[in-house]
Chains A and B, each alone.
Chain A
Amino acid sequence: MSELMDLYQEVILDHNKKPRNRGTMDDADHEAKGDNPLCGDQLTLFVKMDGDRVTEIRFEGRGCAISVASASLMTETITGKSQAEIGTLYESFHELLTGDPSVAAEAGEELGKLRVFEGVREFPVRVKCATLAWHTLMAALEGKDASVTTE
C-alpha cells in the first residue's frame, strides 16, 4: 500500500484536480499533439518562445491522474527555461522513472518538484503516462508540430 501512496502523492493528486496552465493559445509558436492509445490519454501542447526560451506553455487534453499531473508540473517547471535546460530535464526525468535507482537518486538535482514522480518507477506500465507530456514537448520544440504516440 505504501507504493500506492508513493505513486499518488499529494502534489500529484493536487495537480490532477487543479491542473496549472491548462488551456489553449491562439498565437503559439509550436503546437504538438500526443496520445497514448492504450489508455486513451490525449494531450495538446501550445508553446510560446522568446528566442530559445519558453515563455509560456499551455496544455489541453484528458488522461489519468499521472498524465495530467505530469503535464501540469512540466508546464510549471519549464517556463522560462532554454531548450538546452529542458533537454537536460527531460533526460533526468526519464532517468528518474526508468533508470538505475541508485543513479536516479543522485542525478537530477534540477528536477525539483518533478521528483514526486519517483514512485512511478514501481509501476512500469504507468511510466508512459508520466512521460507523454514530455515526449510531446520534445516534438513541439523540435518544430515537428506533429503527433507523437507512446505506442
Chain B
Amino acid sequence: MTTLESSKHPRPAADERPPFDVERIRADFPALHQTVHGKPLAYLDNAASAQKPQAALDAETECYRRFYSNVHRGVHYLSEKATDAYEEARRKVQRFVNAAREEEMVFLRGTTEGINLVASTYGRQHVGAGDEVLITTMEHHSNIVPWQLLCEERGARLVVAPINDRGEVDVEEYERLLSERTRITAFTHVSNALGTINPVAEMIRLAHAKGVPVLVDGAQAVPHLDVDVQELGCDFYAFSSHKLFGPTGVGALYGRLDLLATMPPYQGGGEMIRSVTFEKTEFSPPPNRFEAGTPNIAGAIGMGAAIDYLQALDMSAVAAHEHDLLDYATAALEAIPEVRIIGTAETKASVISFVIGDIHAHDVGTILDREGVAVRAGHHCAQPVMDRFGLPATTRASFALYNTREEVDRLIAGVERVRELFG
C-alpha cells in the first residue's frame, strides 16, 4: 500500500485558508444546526447523501402549496403551471451538465434507476451471448448489479478492469480489456469509496476509439465538479438529486438523443405513449418514452432549485474550499499512528476512507457518532473495492461545501478518542 507523501499534502497554515464564507453557506442549510448526543452536529457523510438548502425545500413546498397538479395531462390552469415548472426543471438539469438538448434529460428516481434503464433497454438491445460489458473494480453496487443481471440473462460476460494500490483505474489494462466483443462500458466519474476522480475523458476516448458506447456514473461527481457531457463525449451520464443537495427519489439520466431515440421503453404506462390500442401501442419520443407514470414532479422542481442554488455560488471557490478540507483532513489523519488512508489517488474528490489499526469501522462509527460526528462506516456499497484492499469495511468522511476545518478537527479528536478507548 502506498500512502500519500506528506510533503505533497502539507497542512496549510491558518492564514492561508482560501477566502470562502462558509458560515453564510451554512446558514442556508437548516439541518446542520442541531445537536446530536449533546454535541453540535458535524455532518461528514455527504457522499451517502447531502443536506438540503432552504431554497430547495421551499421550491418543493411551493409546488405543493401553489401550483401542484399532474403534468402533461390537463388543460386546466394548475396542470399547465406544474408542467411548465417541471419542464423548466428539466432545462436546469440540462444546462447543469451542458447537454445539447432538453430531450436528452430523463427524470428518474436516481442514478441507480438511470443505470438500470440503460442496462435493460440499450443493454438488452445490443448485448448478446458471448458479448462483453466492461466495468471497473471501483464501481458502486449500482453500477455492477444491473450489468451482472443483464449478462446473466444474455449469456454475456462481465469484464472488470483492475485498480492499483492507490485506488486508480489501470488505464492501460482498461484499454486492453476493450475487446471486439465489448458492447458497452460503464464506470464511475468519482469513486464513492475511495474518492478517486477517474480520467473519464481519456477512458471515453479509448472506448469510442473501439466503437464502444460509455455510461458514466456521475452520482459522486456532480456535487463537486463541473460536468460537461458534450465535452466529455459520453453516451450516458446518470446522477441523483439527493447527493446534489436536492430532494430524494429523483435524479436524471443524460442520453445522447440518437441513442435514446432508438431505445425501447423501460417501463410501460401513461405518459410514455403516443397512442394505445389493444393491438399496438406507439411510444412517445424521448424523454417521455422513459418516464412512464406520474413522475416525481415536486422532487424534480426541488432538484432544479438545488441546482440554481449551486450555480449561484462561485463553484471554483467551492471546489477550492472542499479541496482545502480534503488536504487538511488528509494531513491530520496521516499524522495519527495506525491510521491508514484507503484511496490515495493523484486526483481525489473530498472523500477520505480510512482504517485505524484493526479496529472495526462500526466501532469507529459508533464512537464518532457519540461525538456528534456523522461518518459512514461499512463497505459503502462497494464490496469489490473492500475485497481489493482486503478489508471488511472502512470509515469514510466525505466533505461538502458547508463543512469546516473545525469539523475536521472534531473528526480527528474522535479518532484519537477511538484509539484511547481501544488502546
**Interface set of A (CB-CB < 8 Å, partner B):** 1, 3-4, 7-8, 13, 38-42, 62-66, 123, 126, 129
Q: Which 10 A-B pairs have the closest CB atoms?
A: A64-B360, A40-B392, A64-B362, A40-B393, A65-B363, A64-B363, A39-B362, A4-B370, A40-B379, A62-B392
Return chain A residues, CB-CB under 8 Å to B393: 39-40
Within the assembled complex, what's the spacing in Å between the Cα atoms of A8 and B417? 12
Chain A residue nearest to B392 in the complex (CB):
A40
Q: Which residues of A contact B386 (CB under 8 A)?
A: 40
CA distance A65 to B386 in the complex (A): 19
Of A41, A66, A129, which one neighbours B392 at CB under 8 angstroms?
A: A41
User: What is the interface of chain B mostly: helix, strand, loop, or mixed?
Assistant: helix
B276 interfacial contact with A, CB 8 Å: no
Binding site for A on B (CB under 8 A): 359-363, 366-367, 370, 378-379, 383, 386, 392-393, 421-422
| CA of A11 to CA of B62, assembled, Å | 55
Return chain A residues, CB-CB under 8 Å to B378.
38-40
Chain A residues within an 8 Å CB radius of B362 = 39, 64, 66, 126, 129
Contacts of B379 in A (CB 8 A): 40
- Interface SS, A side: mixed
Minimum Cβ distance to chain A for residue B324 (Å): 31
**Which of B363, B378, B386 has the most chain A CB atoms inside 10 A of its CB?**
B363
The A/B interface has a contact count, at CB < 8 Å, of 44
Q: For the complex formed, measure the closest distance between the CB of B235 and the CB atoms of chain A, giving whole angstroms.
A: 33
**Least Cβ–Cβ distance between B423 and chain A, in angstroms:** 9
CB distance from B35 to the nearest CB of A (A): 15
Q: CB within 8 A of A126: which of B361, B366, B422? A: B366
Q: Which residue of A lies closest to B360 (CB)?
A: A64
B388 → chain A, closest Cβ, in Å?
A: 14
Most buried by B among A13, A39, A123: A39
Q: How far is the CA of A129 from the CA of B363 in the complex (A)?
A: 10
Known A-B contacts A64-B360, A65-B360; the reply to A3 vs B422 at CB < 8 A is no
Are B422 and A1 touching (Cβ within 8 A)?
Answer: no
CB distance B360 to A1 under 8 Å?
A: no
Taking a contact as CB atoms under 8 Å apart, the answer to whether A1 and B421 are in contact is no
With contacts A39-B392, A65-B360 known, what are 8 further pairs, Cβ within 8 A? A4-B370, A8-B421, A13-B421, A38-B378, A63-B360, A64-B362, A64-B363, A65-B422
**A-side contacts of B383, CB under 8 Å:** 40
- The CA of A140 and the CA of B362, in the complex, are separated in Å by 26
Residue numbers in B under 8 Å from A63 (CB-CB): 360, 392
Give Cα A66 to B363, complex, Å.
Answer: 8
Name 30 interchain pairs, CB-CB below 8 A, sorted by A: A1-B370, A3-B370, A4-B366, A4-B370, A4-B421, A7-B366, A8-B421, A8-B422, A13-B421, A39-B360, A39-B361, A39-B362, A39-B378, A39-B392, A39-B393, A40-B379, A40-B386, A40-B392, A40-B393, A41-B392, A42-B392, A62-B392, A63-B392, A64-B361, A64-B362, A64-B363, A65-B359, A65-B363, A65-B422, A123-B366
A126 to B383, CA, bound (A): 21
Q: Which residues of A contact B363 (CB under 8 A)?
A: 8, 64-66
